[in-house]
Chains A and B, each alone.
Chain A
Amino acid sequence: MAVVSIKNKLRRGNLLVGNDAYDPAGFESIATATGSGATSITFSSIPQTYTHLQLRMLLRSTGTGDGRDLNLTVNGAASTGDYKSHYLIGNGTTVSSGADANGSTANVWIANPPASATASGIFSVSIVDILDYANTNKNKTFRALAGVDLNTGVYQNVMLLSGVRLSTAAISSITLTLSNGNFATGCSVALYGIKSA
């Protein structure tokens, strides 16, 4: 497709020639935390100026065993029934799925960080989308794509997770809590805001 540059009026066969590269300008970094030495990370006073939020994480726990859970809550303390969630997991051998349909855990499982029994340098990743977080007319939904691959042992999987906070309040804070241990050195949790037109 031929394209005419709005900058210099040149006609080119490439969209990028003569024009600035397309920039998804609506994706902005809000804050980054490492969590080193702590069992939880909280992002507070989240600006209410975006449409969606995204967490991008590199994770490892200092806790015992092969791996530990990382759970998400929003807007402070929660009670049984505040959250519901589902998951679908593949570990290379078995597909498994489950749910916390009664909200008994009062949080949403979003990642599976490896822990002290796992070889050093191995981190899991998770990308979490938090949709319409500032809207005050709907419950808040979360979805995560997470995983880790060790090439050996039992603690390797790719996971699709989803959850809901049964509240229409805008999300102004997010807390991520490990089920055991602290965030290890090298962890990175970045919060981004996504704007709509």
Chain B
Amino acid sequence: MPKTYEPISTQTLSSAVTGVTFTSIPQTYTDLVLVINASASTAANAWLSTNLTDVSSLSGTRLYADGTGAGTARTSSGNDFVVFTAYDQVTTTAGNFNAVLNFMSYANTTTNKTIITRSNNASAGVCAAVCMERKTGAITSITIDMVGTGTYSIGSTFTLYGIKAA
């Protein structure tokens, strides 16, 4: 049986950084899955961008809840990034924040790119988001950063997997 779900790269932070980028992503998979377990110097929301992103290409819709209510919000085009978390989920406590981002048909060059995510922090809330990169190019790099001036803390992990369909 050929390998279907393969690790591509893992970044475990040995120093605090404002963002993490995966470059030269192989174009040999069907979907990408990015798994994040992180904390930050200051509680903040996380955002993503790709090599395709410009100020008019990327938007997103979020659905979230924190135990007292549910909400929904959009990030419209106009920025060169899109927020995929809520409630400043990337908190300062190590291990509390996790997220799984699915980059569907990322190497396809005929359709726009959709990214669908789930993020969790039991001390903050839960969130689901769908993000649309309205460009048909292939995704070759992904950047995860955060709103504001905070940094991702030492020990935060970012693991990129590839999934290959038959």
Contact = CB atoms under 8 A, between A and B. Distances in A.
Contact of A94 (B72, B76, B114): B72
Interface stretch (A3-11, A100-108, A130-138, A186-194): A186-194
Contact of B4 (A28, A125, A159): A28
Interface stretch (A66-74, A77-85, A144-152): A144-152
Interface residues of B, number: 45
B111 interface: yes
A32 interface: yes
Interface in B85-127: 102, 104-105, 108, 110-112, 114, 116, 118
Contacts of B163: 27, 56, 192
Interface stretch (A15-23, A162-170, A171-179): A15-23
B5 A24 contact: yes
A7 B75 CA distance: 48
Interface of A: 16, 21-25, 27-32, 56, 58, 88-95, 121-125, 127, 145-151, 156-160, 186, 188, 190, 192
7 interchain residue pairs of minimum CB distance: A90-B72, A147-B130, A90-B63, A92-B74, A27-B5, A151-B59, A190-B165
Given A24-B6, A95-B63, A121-B134, 8 more contacts: A58-B111, A145-B128, A149-B60, A149-B130, A149-B132, A150-B132, A157-B130, A159-B63
